[in-house]
Amino acid sequence: MGHLESLVEVLSDYSRCAVLERNGSRIVVLERGARILGAFLGGSPNLLWVNPKLEEELSEGGWNVGGLRLWISPERNFFYRRPEEFEDWFCPQGLDPGSYRIVEASSDRAVLEGEIAAFDHLAKDELKGLVRREIRLLEGGAGRLRLRIRERILGEYRSRINPWVLAQVPTGYAGVGTVLAPARRGAEPIPYFGEIPRNRLRVSANHVSFRIDGNFVAKLGIKPEDLREPGLGSIGYVYRIGRRLWSALILRTSNIPLTQEDCLDVPRHDPSLPRAALQSYNSGPEAFEDIKFGEIELQLTPTENFSGRIFASVEYDFIAMVGSRGEVLKGIRRILGIAKPRLY
């Protein structure tokens, strides 16, 4: 769904949506699942990935529609029916799409509220909660937009969870893009789903590069101890959207875990490995036969737990840029602090 009008037309048959706009930048917010499903800068195509079989996915009640979403982790506990073996993955419908509704909408702000529910298959415990998502379009125009998103979770659960933010990204015009994660010298990337081939991962002095092409299932993690600035997490994605036009998508937050103790999502490859605050996923035919996408992800500061009641209030920015290769890389240098990014 490359054009806003056609995207909204399809969505309106299945759910309410809101369109935010500022200086030619437009954002499509879907009530179903509380997703940000469209990000458009001027005449650009949709900068977020949307499932090419969107109508089929919506009509069948599927989760994989695309865009930017909020889940919870640890994934092992809530998304595997056999968590000890990491087998029988599924998406709990009580989490996604949940039961959200748009409660406020204006030209530059949307607020969604809803109930979530999921069963912890490892601890044999039920999670029930209320979520409030506030999405504000703070900047728009001149080749850049910036969203400020606040997530609030209030619920009942005996342990803690990480609010887990995932933005699905396309492989773009060239069929390949690059995830860029700022990291300290000597960073040790975590292979979440199995060893990552060397031609898909590069560790540089101040960042990690990860290949996105939708051809091989792999997941990268960066632990909080490897972040350049403790408590400040950012991850970006750079790709071509045309012959001479490029784009970058960035997630940035100061609500990131400081230590392993606050990172709850264990690697499927080896649960004894360190746990990550930044993550990225590359799809492959092993998981999805006929669609290709990637993801950039934040594991945010975990909930506080008071006698079985959990609470979290976290905030992050979503930034999108469009321009020439040089213009986009200049933005990457300014926002991510990566002077010479290694691209695929």
Per-residue pLDDT tens digits for 157-213: 999 999 999 999 999 999 999 999 999 999 999 999 999 999 999 999 999 999 999
Report yes or no on 135 lying in a domain: yes
Overall domain count for the chain:
1
Rounded to whole angstroms, the Cα distance separating 18 from 247 reads 24
What is the CATH classification number for the domain harbouring 315?
2.70.98.10
Rounded to whole angstroms, the Cα distance separating 39 from 21 reads 10
At residue 1, does pLDDT exceed 80?
A: no
Rounded to whole angstroms, the Cα distance separating 144 from 157 reads 40
Report yes or no on 294 lying in a domain: yes
Percent share of the chain, pLDDT over 70: 99
Percent share of the chain, pLDDT over 90: 98
Q: How far is CA 335 from CA 117, 139, 294, 298, in A?
A: 36, 15, 21, 16
**What percent of the chain is helix, strand and coil (3-state, nearest 5)?**
15, 45, 40
Report yes or no on 29 lying in a domain: yes
Contact 12, 30 (CB under 8 A): no
At residue 307, does pLDDT exceed 70?
A: yes
Report yes or no on 289 lying in a domain: yes
Mean pLDDT, residues 216-225: 98
Report yes or no on 43 lying in a domain: yes
- Helices then strands, each counted (H, E), the chain: 4, 22
pLDDT by residue (tens digit) across 84-111?
999 999 999 999 999 999 999 999 999 9
pLDDT by residue (tens digit) across 2-16?
689 999 999 999 999
Report yes or no on 342 lying in a domain: no
Contact 64, 56 (CB under 8 A): no
Mean pLDDT, residues 289-295: 96
At residue 34, does pLDDT exceed 70?
A: yes
Range of the domain at 40: 4-336
Report yes or no on 341 lying in a domain: no
Report yes or no on 343 lying in a domain: no
The sign of the CA dihedral 261, 265, 271, 273 is negative
